[in-house]
Structure formats: C-alpha cells, structure tokens
C-alpha cells in the first residue's frame, strides 16, 4: 500500500510517497523551507526517505533536494538532462526507481524545461510542471520549448490511462484532485489540439517572470545556497539579544558589553545606539585583531535590519569570539521603538 502526503508551499506542491510494507519513501519536488516538515512527516508515518527527486530544474522555488540529501545520505535524482552537477542518479525515459515495493516509472516530458519528467506510480501520475490542473507549465523560461511540450502532452502523457490521477508541481487552488480524463475535457490549454495552434498559444501567453527566478536558477542549477538559507545557517549558530534588553544594558553604565555597529560610516553618523563603536561588516575580518583584541569580551553586533549583523556575529563566533551575540532586530526597529539615538562620529 502506498502512503501519500501532499505538502504545499504557497502554490508549489511536493509529495512524500512511502511503501507501507518496507517503510521506504521518496520525496518529489521538495522545497527548501519545508525540509523539517518532510523529515517530521516521514518520522510520523514510520518512513525512511531513500530518494529525493526533482521533476525538473525549478525556476520559481528553491529545491530542498540537496540539503535533504546531505542530511540523509541519500541520492538526488533527476533526469539526465539536468544541468545540476550534484545529481547523484540521472534517469532516462522508461527507467524505473524502486522505492520499496513502489515502482516509479520515468516519462521524459521536455517542454516546460528540457529536463522535465513525469513519474508514473500505480494509479497516479506526478506531472511536475508538464501538466497542471487547468493549465500547463509555461515554455518561456530557460530550455522551454512549446513544440516539445506539445509532443510530451499529446503524444505522451495524455495517451496514458485517462483514469490516472494528476499530481502537479504547482497548484494554486489547493486540495484539487484531477485525472487525465478531466484535464482532457476541461483544461483550457488542452483544447487546442492542433500543433500550430497550441504552439502559437504558448508563445503568446505573456506571463510575468517568476519572482526570485535568478536566485532559484542559481541555487537549483549549482547547488549553491539561497540568501535565506545562508542567513538561516548563520542565525542557527548565534544567540540573540532583544532590543529592550540591549537598551537596559546600554543605559546601565558599567556594563561590560561592546556594542558594534556593522553598518557603513554614513549610516552610523546619522544615528547609532549610544556607546556603539563603528566596525563596518566589510572591514570586520581586517580589523578584528586591532579592534577586538580580547576574545573573551561580550560583543553585540547590530545593523539596519538584523540580517547583516547576524552574518557578522556568526563570523565573530567562528573567529573565536565566543560571547558574540546579534541584535534581534536592527536600527530600524530601534528607531521605531523610540529608543535613544546618538549622532555624529565615533567618540
């Protein structure tokens, strides 16, 4: 029996499929912000994740395959056309991935991207962005091709058993279930069954670019981190101090806390936290030896929004300043709270 979980991140859909007999499982199209949820669901269902599959190179969300693969020591699986260098197992049309007793059959469906594939398992078809409920994947992003999509649909998956359930990588309505038969009957994009008319329609959709496309492609194609991931890693490695706590400590003279403003000089001079020293983030590594000779001192770093100071604090901790903390918030929140400000250059 198949254990099935659908996990939505906004409109992005991912799936955890498990074999109840062997407890082996696979995640299809994991999203990076949901990594803990997949692990939690798998544990809750008594499953062990064996494979991480991306149906294609996503341009609109951040894939969690690589991070999960690292944590679990299991392979990242994609079609062989994927440009990502970290793919461990590359698949061809007609290949099967065995997940316990489940058999996931690969159908190469280029069009939305060159590396798109659908996965057929029992009575379900995981369509990636090839076929969506009431739509198709777009073909105007890198490696998209409307002619190829026409073939993948009308000469490919739409000829499969029409009772197959359709599970796309995107669905903005949520909780909607569909089948090949229903899509053939109701999906407006599938009503143009003539190749030229279909291609013409796909070329003239004039869709807006997905947000974060540059970052999503960079991260998904290289395995590099997203900015949010980089910040989350830094935040996980440092403690924080609240604005109110810092205010109390700044006001209590004699407190042995070094307050570092890691913004640029002009921002510092316009208004900074009383007693703060200026040490711009860009100069941190160059100046720590002179400016912060005692690694046992308690140091608090702050910036405008609380992100750069988190990175700075993580760097300080890496350098051995084991009492470095980051401000939970930044100067913006400090000003908005009406807390005391000082302007002008350093004392």
Letters for 230-259 (x = contact with Fe ion by CB under 5 A, - = none) are ------------------------------
Q: By C-beta, is 113 or 315 nearer to Fe ion?
A: 113
Q: Compute the CA torsion angle 129, 133, 136, 137 (nearest 10 deg).
A: -30
Tell me the closest approach of the beta carbon of residue 116 to Fe ion, in angstroms. Answer: 8
Tell me the closest approach of the beta carbon of residue 343 to Fe ion, in angstroms. Answer: 49
* Part of the chain binding Fe ion (CB under 5 A), chosen from 124-132, 208-216, 279-287, 312-320: 124-132
Query: Looking at the DSSP assignment, which residues form a beta bridge with residue 327?
Result: 241
* Part of the chain binding Fe ion (CB under 5 A), chosen from 16-24, 76-84, 129-137, 257-265: 129-137
129 is a site residue for Fe ion (CB under 5 A)? yes
Site for Fe ion in 296-325 (CB under 5 A): none
CA 322, CA 98: separation in Å to the nearest integer? 47
Taking CB atoms, the residue at the shortest distance from Fe ion is 129
Site for Fe ion in 47-66 (CB under 5 A): 58
Letters for 141-160 (x = contact with Fe ion by CB under 5 A, - = none) are --------------------
Tell me the closest approach of the beta carbon of residue 59 to Fe ion, in angstroms. Answer: 6
Q: By C-beta, is 52 or 325 nearer to Fe ion?
A: 52
Indicate left, alpha or beta for 315 from its phi (over 0: left) and psi (-120 to 50: alpha): alpha
* Part of the chain binding Fe ion (CB under 5 A), chosen from 44-52, 84-92, 101-109, 126-134: 126-134
Tell me the closest approach of the beta carbon of residue 129 to Fe ion, in angstroms. Answer: 4
Q: By C-beta, is 134 or 329 nearer to Fe ion?
A: 134
Strands (DSSP E) along 109-262, which ranges?
117-121, 124-128, 131-132, 135-136, 165-168, 178-179, 240-241, 257-261
Tell me the closest approach of the beta carbon of residue 58 to Fe ion, in angstroms. Answer: 5
The three-class DSSP label of residue 71 is helix
Q: Does residue 169 contact residue 128 with C-beta atoms inside 8 Å?
A: yes
Q: By C-beta, is 50 or 58 nearer to Fe ion?
A: 58
Tell me the closest approach of the beta carbon of residue 131 to Fe ion, in angstroms. Answer: 12
Token pair in block for residue 98: 């065995």
Tell me the closest approach of the beta carbon of residue 235 to Fe ion, in angstroms. Answer: 29
Tell me the closest approach of the beta carbon of residue 60 to Fe ion, in angstroms. Answer: 6
316: CB partners within 8 A, 6+ apart: 284, 288, 292, 299, 301, 324
5 is a site residue for Fe ion (CB under 5 A)? no
* Part of the chain binding Fe ion (CB under 5 A), chosen from 47-55, 123-131, 185-193, 210-218: 123-131
Q: Compute the CA torsion angle 276, 277, 281, 285 (nearest 10 deg).
A: -140
Q: If residue 25 lies in a helix (H) or strand (E), which one and from where to where?
A: strand 24-28
Tell me the closest approach of the beta carbon of residue 57 to Fe ion, in angstroms. Answer: 8
CA 219, CA 209: separation in Å to the nearest integer? 17
**Cα dist from 94 to 79, 107, 109, 263, 286, whole Å:** 11, 6, 11, 55, 56
Q: By C-beta, is 5 or 60 nearer to Fe ion?
A: 60
261 is a site residue for Fe ion (CB under 5 A)? no
Greatest alpha-carbon pair distance for the chain in Å reads: 80
Query: Looking at the DSSP assignment, which residues form a beta bridge with residue 272?
Result: 342
Q: By C-beta, is 58 or 66 nearer to Fe ion?
A: 58
Q: Does residue 32 contact residue 188 with C-beta atoms inside 8 Å?
A: no
Which residues contribute to the site for Fe ion (CB under 5 A)? Answer: 58, 129
């Amino acid at each position: 029996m198949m254990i099935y979980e659908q996990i939505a991140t906004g409109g992005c859909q991912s799936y955890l499929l498990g074999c109840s007999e062997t407890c082996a499982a696979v995640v299809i199209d994991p999203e990076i912000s949901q990594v803990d949820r997949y692990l939690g669901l798998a544990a809750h269902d008594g499953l062990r994740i064996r494979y991480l599959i991306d149906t294609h190179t996503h341009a609109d969300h951040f894939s969690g395959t690589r991070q999960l693969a690292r944590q679990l020591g299991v392979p990242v699986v994609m079609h062989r056309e994927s440009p990502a260098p970290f793919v461990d197992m590359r698949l061809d049309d007609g290949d099967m991935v065995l997940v316990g007793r489940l058999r996931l059959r690969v159908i190469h469906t280029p069009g939305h991207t060159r590396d798109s594939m659908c996965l057929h398992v029992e009575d379900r078809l995981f369509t990636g962005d090839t076929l969506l409920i009431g739509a198709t994947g777009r073909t105007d992003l890198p490696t998209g091709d409307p002619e190829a999509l026409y073939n993948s649909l009308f000469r490919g998956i739409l000829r499969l058993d029409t009772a197959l359930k359709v599970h796309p990588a995107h669905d903005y309505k949520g909780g909607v279930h569909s089948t090949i038969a229903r899509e053939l009957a109701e999906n407006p994009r599938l009503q143009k069954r003539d190749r030229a008319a279909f291609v013409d329609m796909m070329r003239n959709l004039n869709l807006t670019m997905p947000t974060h496309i540059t970052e999503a492609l960079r991260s998904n194609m290289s395995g590099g981190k997203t900015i949010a991931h980089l910040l989350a890693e830094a935040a996980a490695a440092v403690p924080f101090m609240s604005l109110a706590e810092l205010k109390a400590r700044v006001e209590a003279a004699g407190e042995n806390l070094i307050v570092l403003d890691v913004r640029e000089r002009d921002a510092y001079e316009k208004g900074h936290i009383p007693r703060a020293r200026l040490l711009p983030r860009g100069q941190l590594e160059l100046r720590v030896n002179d400016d912060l000779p005692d690694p046992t001192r308690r140091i608090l770093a702050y910036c405008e929004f609380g992100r750069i100071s988190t990175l700075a604090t993580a760097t300080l901790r890496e350098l051995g300043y084991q009492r470095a903390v980051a401000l939970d918030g930044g100067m913006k929140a400090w000003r908005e709270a009406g807390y005391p400000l000082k302007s002008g250059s350093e004392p």
